[in-house]
Amino acid sequence: MTTHAPSRIFLSPPWTGEPERAALRRAFASGYVAPCGPMVDEFDRRLGALAGQHAAAVASGTAALDLLMAELGVGPGDRVVASSLTFVATVGPAVHRGATPVFVDSDPATGLISLPLLRRALRAARPKCVIAADLYGQCCDYDALEALCAEHDVPLIIDAAEAVGATSNGRPAGHAGVAAVYSFNGNKIITTSGGGAVLSRDPEIVERARWRAQQAREPVPWYEHREIGYNYRMSNLLGALGCAQLDRLPTIIRRKKRIFAFYEKAFAARPRLGAVPFPCAAPEEATRWLSVFIFPTPAVRDAVAARLAAANVESRPVWKPLHLQPAFRKCRTYGGAVAEDLFNRGLCLPSGAGLTRKDLARIEACL
């Protein structure tokens, strides 16, 4: 008798179906297979409506951050102050431009950038900008961050890659500071397979990002360049995919919240595991893009992860703080212990909007 291993349950796979296929077919039929085109324009318009500001869809969230670093003129010798508990792409584009990151620990109540430590970092040295990262579907406190950065006259960039669809005191994800970015990478709450966006309340910042993303070409019949740009355009096909995914966003958020509630209930029924949700100050404003739980010790966390892995179920530790990354070992860090602790004891659990009851039962059996 042959036994088949159960199919893999991934952490956060894309959730797509016939509406996405139909949108792609329509985009093909329109003849706009090349970069740009009407579906990217439509995606920009709809992203702008979602975020309450102007938007330009581009090739990735990392590209969007790179365009903002170009806009701010970040370069060699500059310092950028950033969250430590985040994905490396939050600071990658600044580092490629020769800037030095300065890291700030997490607030224990949210896991997001600590405002008292950010204040200390801003007092010590005036950076070129602050890049604050939203985490796992939870936005930073934009009102407080804006006030603090304004006090120190430092531009604020929001890395809202993980927070599309969430809010901060009622403000849509990324609605703060000079500008923000979204990501539509394959694991994000909505996906264009790969993609991102620049968002800003200032239409000129978004227009310049769009211009730089298209090789900074001057509006004349021949190829004329005052500045050297990038090829960070999003293709029309992916714009169509993005529009179809945006239609689903409210349903995805509802499903993500239900998945989070499932884990809460499952862990409440297993007090021996001692799991508590990743800190979150305003749960009603979060999307629960990923369901993340903190265990009493690294050993308990690792045991749960090992049981899931044995059943072919993917899970991941919380982001390894950037100040612990070998590449950044010489960088200045304010605090660090909170992010380190969340990394040591935190686990991201399967959170795909397409998870079935059967999948959830399989996961629960591992706990």
| Per-residue burial over 73-107, b = 16 or more CB atoms within 10 Å of its CB, e = otherwise | ebeeebbbbbbbbbbebbbbbbbebebbbbbbbbb
CB of 162 to ligand PLP, least distance (A): 5
Q: Does residue 82 contact residue 322 with C-beta atoms inside 8 Å?
A: yes
Q: Report how far residue 366's alpha carbon sits from residue 273's, in angstroms, rounded to the nearest whole number.
A: 12
Nearest-approach distance from CB 194 to ligand PLP, in angstroms? 6
Give the distance, in angstroms, between the CA of residue 66 and the centroid of all CA atoms in the same chain. 15
* Rounded (10°) angle between helices 38-51 and 236-268: 40
CB of 290 vs ligand PLP, minimal distance in Å: 10
Q: Are strands 129-133 and 156-159 parallel, antiparallel or unpaired?
A: parallel
Count CB neighbours of 21 within 10 A. 12
**Site residues, ligand PLP (CB under 6 A):** 60-62, 86-87, 89-90, 133, 159, 161-162, 183, 185, 196
Q: How far is the CB of 2 from ligand PLP (least distance, A)?
A: 38
Least gap, CB of 158 to ligand PLP (angstroms): 10
Minimal distance in Å, beta carbon 161 to ligand PLP?
A: 3
Cα–Cα dist 86/62, whole Å = 13
Nearer to ligand PLP, 64 or 273 (CB): 64
Nearer to ligand PLP, 238 or 273 (CB): 238
Toward ligand PLP, which CB reaches closer, 106 or 185? 185
**Token representation of residue 159:** 């890395």
Q: Which is nearer to ligand PLP, 89 or 294 (CB)?
A: 89
Amino acid in position 166? A
Kindly report the number of other CB atoms within 10 A of residue 36's CB atom: 17
Q: Which C-beta is closer to ligand PLP: that of 167 or that of 191?
A: 191
Minimum Å gap between C-beta 118 and ligand PLP is 17
For residue 175, the minimal CB distance to ligand PLP (Å) is 17
Query: What is the spatial distance between Cα 122 and Cα 115, in angstroms, rounded to a whole number?
Result: 10
- Written as one letter, the residue type at 226 is R
Separation between Cα atoms, residue 264 and residue 292, nearest integer Å: 10
Closest separation in Å from C-beta 169 to ligand PLP: 20
How many Å from the N-terminal Cα to the C-terminal Cα in the chain? 29
Question: Which residue's CB is nearer to ligand PLP, number 84 or number 86?
Answer: 86
* Position of minimal CB gap to ligand PLP: 61
- The secondary structure of residue 90, as a DSSP letter, is G
Residue 183 or 287: which CB sits closer to ligand PLP? 183
- How far is 317 from 314, CA to CA, in rounded Å? 11
Site of tokens 């090349």: 34
Closer to ligand PLP by Cβ: residue 94 or 161: 161
Q: Which residues contact 103 (CB under 8 A, 6 or more apart)?
A: 81, 82, 83, 84, 321, 322, 323, 328, 331, 332, 333, 334, 336
Question: Which of residues 196 and 335 has its CB atom nearest to ligand PLP in the complex?
Answer: 196
Helix (H) or strand (E) holding 26: helix 18-30
